[in-house]
Amino acid sequence: MSNYVELAIEEIEIDSANPRIAYYLSHYENTNDDTIALLLGTSTSSCESLRESIRQNGGIIHPIIVNKNANGTYKVVEGNTRLQIYRDFLKNNVSGNWTKIKAIVYESPDENFVHSIRLQAHLIGPREWDSYSKAKYLNYLANIERMPMNALISFCGGSSKASEIKNMIAAYNDMESFYRPLCDDDTMFDPKRFQYFVEMQRKFVLDSIISNGFTKTDFSKWVLNENIALSLDKTRIAS
What per-residue string of b and e applies to 133-166 under the rule 16 or more CB within 10 Å gives b?
ebbbebbebbeeeeeeeeebbbbbbbeebbeebb
Instruction: Locate the domains of the chain by residue range.
Output: 2-124, 131-237
Beta bridge partners of 7: 101
Identify the sign of the CA torsion 63, 68, 74, 76.
negative
Place 88 in a pLDDT band, splitting at 50, 70 and 90.
very high
Place 143 in a pLDDT band, splitting at 50, 70 and 90.
very high
Q: What is the pLDDT of residue 158?
A: 77
Q: What is the pLDDT of residue 235?
A: 41
Q: What is the pLDDT of residue 190?
A: 92
Q: Residue 75: in which H helix or E strand, if any? A: strand 74-78
pTM above 0.85, yes or no: no
CATH topology of domain 2-124: 3.90.1530
**103-116 pLDDT tens trace:** 999 987 888 788 77
> Are 155 and 56 spatial neighbours (Cβ–Cβ below 8 Å)?
yes
Q: What is the pLDDT of residue 223?
A: 94
